Amino acid sequence: AGSRLQHEYVPSAHLSAACTCLAWAPAGARQPPSKDGPQRKKRKSEVGEVDKQLDILAIGTAVGSILLYSTVKGELQSKLDGGHDSRVNCVRWHQDNCCLYSCSDDKHIVEWNTQTCKVKCKWKGDNSSVTCLCISPDGKTLLSAGRTIKLWDLETKEVYRHFTGHATSVSSLMFTTVKPVNESKPFDGITGLYFLSGAIHDRLLSVWQIRSDRKEKNAVMSFTVTDEPTFVDLTVSEVKEEPVKLAVVCRDGQLHLFEHILNGYCKKPLTSNCTIQIATPGNDGDSTPKPVPILAAAFCADKQSLLLVYGNTLQPIIEKVSLNTSESHICLVRDIQKVLSLKTDAALTKVKTPVVNSDTKVLVPGIPGHSTAVKTPALGKEKKKNKRKPGETEESIEERLGALDIDVSKVKTPGGLPQTDSFAVLLVQGLESNDAEILNKVLNTRKENIVKNTVARMPIHAVIPLLHELTKRLQGNPYSASVMVRWLKSVFTLHASYLSTLPDLIPQLGMLYQLMESRVKTLQKLSRLHGRLFILVTQVAASQTVQDVPEVNQTAKLVYEDDSSEDEGSDDEMIADKDSDENWDEDEEKEEQSDEQDMTVEKEINGDSDLEPENESEEE
């Protein structure tokens, strides 16, 4: 009544096995006799008092165990283990025989005997996890739901009916009527009853009727709300004409009230008769009213007034409200700040900003020989101004970074060389930010000593990114490739032990291997070409020097130019003949394989090769 915390219980394993669901045992539930000795008989008045009081609370946990906690004694009574091996989603007590039913993510439903704390029966409830249970008013059947809803006969544990229509897992199941609509037929305890279901991420609550024929599997009507329902309460219709009242709390903090007489099929989704919201009065300091979320709602025993739970989950406010439902929208104004004792501002005051006077000198940490201009006026005021008018007096980030930038070439070691540790830092920065400018600056150094030291000082985690970067650059022009090979060499020599520990080294270096192989493949051909070109170039140079030595004025040779061209032709023909002779000789050599011919052929080839460079030079 005073919305104060009455009792608090923290299970010993509340961190590893968080509570997932709760259910009160029925008020008349007899507790197992204490083991101390014979239980004394209770007086009638005592029995009456205990019967009215709710005592045992079943708590399902995330690891599959169920705790039975006595709120009267304030202690854990017993623990039900061995039924589920996954998170318990729902627990329900049987009205009469003190049995407890639980369902879990392990797809099973378990019936427990709470006197002996043992599993009475366990059966598979669904192909996916079972999320919700509900016991029928007569206690003979059980509704279970994962995505499809099933009605089980509790004696035989067989499915009596299937209901399909929810796309997501069902979060709430409730019977809405106790007696069937048409009372002419004999009542078997279940046929003709209506029940309600809601699912996660689903803005429709569906109502289903248990028919005698098995054909009808769809919902008979649905109620639409503004967001996913988080809490549902209803008044059960006991007489035929009595409407069912429904209170649905949504995730957006609104409460929707429905009132409807269940009488068969209804095509359109029904909207709420009344929507209730709670807001703060917008007066002191803050002029805009803020919404206060409603956490839960329940009908009182008179079925007219409601208990509302709203505010903060740590310290909720419970209030009894009697409503005039003729209005379609009601907004209750509640000043939640005055009631709520939790202050969130307290934590923020721990951060203190220093007050700096204009005449104090501020020392800024920095690198020796590198000073920044220090502004002495109070920093707090300036910041506030800048927030209002950005970019007026304050330097841009680019300028600040420019002021902080350390030029590597300026920082000298006694030896006069740039410091390799700054190179290593720069390299890591470049690799992390993928900055081409920094990487070019570092990787284009040609001094072996610097390369070695940089690679030695760089952190291990940067080795693989560096290898990827080098591989990328090896594919570029040959000039840069020649520089990159130096880096590769030092990386492989210095970090070989680390690289050999990597399990996925082969795929990491795959592209590098391929690049190297493709380059080395052409090496032989290139060296041959290089040799030939070298010979050609030297011959050309030699012939030019020979031509330059004699006097150019001798004109007699030019008279016989035609004859010399004919000679050239005959020479060519002779070479062609010799070539064909050589080929013929080679064929014959294959057939006869005689040593003498080998010798002659070799001589001929040698003779030819002596002539060839000149011929080639003439053609050139």
Residue-wise pLDDT for 545-594, tens only, equals: 887 665 656 556 656 555 545 555 555 555 545 555 555 555 554 444 44
**Residue 22 confidence (pLDDT):** 92
Q: Which one, of 499, 480, 479, lies nearest residue 490 by Cα?
A: 499
- Does residue 436 lie in a domain region? yes
* HEC assignment per residue over 44-94: HHHHHHHHHCCCEEEEEECCCCEEEEECCCCEEEEEECCCCCCCEEEEEEC
Asked if residue 19 lies in contact with residue 59, where contact means CB atoms within 8 angstroms, the answer is: yes
Higher-pLDDT residue of 311, 392: 311
Long-range contacts of 255-262 (CB under 8 A, 24+ apart): 255/294, 255/297, 255/308, 256/223, 256/225, 256/226, 257/323, 257/325, 258/223, 259/325, 260/221, 260/223, 261/237, 262/176, 262/177, 262/181, 262/194, 262/207, 262/209, 262/220, 262/221, 262/237
- Does residue 173 lie in a domain region? no
Asked if residue 119 lies in contact with residue 143, where contact means CB atoms within 8 angstroms, the answer is: no
Find the domain containing 483 and state its range: 420-521
Q: Which one, of 60, 47, 73, lies nearest residue 11 by Cα?
A: 60
Higher-pLDDT residue of 408, 131: 131
Q: Can you tell me the distance from the alpha carbon of 310 to that of 295, in angstroms, rounded to the nearest whole number?
A: 5
- pLDDT score of 374 more than 50: no
- pLDDT score of 524 more than 70: yes
**Residue 46 confidence (pLDDT):** 38
Q: How confident is the model at residue 385 (pLDDT cuts 50, 70, 90)?
A: very low
- pLDDT score of 40 more than 60: no
- Does residue 83 lie in a domain region? no
**Residue 369 confidence (pLDDT):** 52
Tokens of 125: 């409830």
The stretch 334-345 carries a mean pLDDT of 60
Say how many domains are in the chain.
Answer: 1
- pLDDT score of 183 more than 70: no
- Does residue 438 lie in a domain region? yes
Q: Can you tell me the distance from the alpha carbon of 54 to that of 52, in angstroms, rounded to the nearest whole number?
A: 7
Backbone φ, ψ for residue 233 (5° rounding): -135, 150
Q: How confident is the model at residue 316 (pLDDT cuts 50, 70, 90)?
A: confident
The stretch 362-367 carries a mean pLDDT of 59
**Residue 242 confidence (pLDDT):** 82
Task: Say which residues have a Cβ less than 8 Å from residue 138's Cβ, sequence separation at least 6.
Answer: 189, 190
- Does residue 424 lie in a domain region? yes
- Does residue 455 lie in a domain region? yes
- Does residue 425 lie in a domain region? yes
- pLDDT score of 384 more than 50: no
Q: Mean pLDDT lowest for which of 44-53, 207-216, 449-458?
A: 44-53
- pLDDT score of 205 more than 80: yes
Q: Mean pLDDT lowest for which of 242-246, 274-278, 552-556?
A: 552-556
Asked if residue 333 lies in contact with residue 279, where contact means CB atoms within 8 angstroms, the answer is: yes
Q: Which one, of 484, 418, 483, 485, lies nearest residue 457 by Cα?
A: 418
Higher-pLDDT residue of 495, 375: 495
Q: What is the mean pLDDT of the chain?
A: 77
Q: Which one, of 189, 205, 187, lies nearest residue 197 by Cα?
A: 205
Q: Look up the pTM and report it.
A: 0.53
Any idea of the CA torsion for 159, 164, 170, 172, to the nearest 10 degrees? -70
32-36, 50-54, 218-222, 370-374: range with highest mean pLDDT: 218-222
- Does residue 431 lie in a domain region? yes
Percent of the chain surpassing pLDDT 70: 70
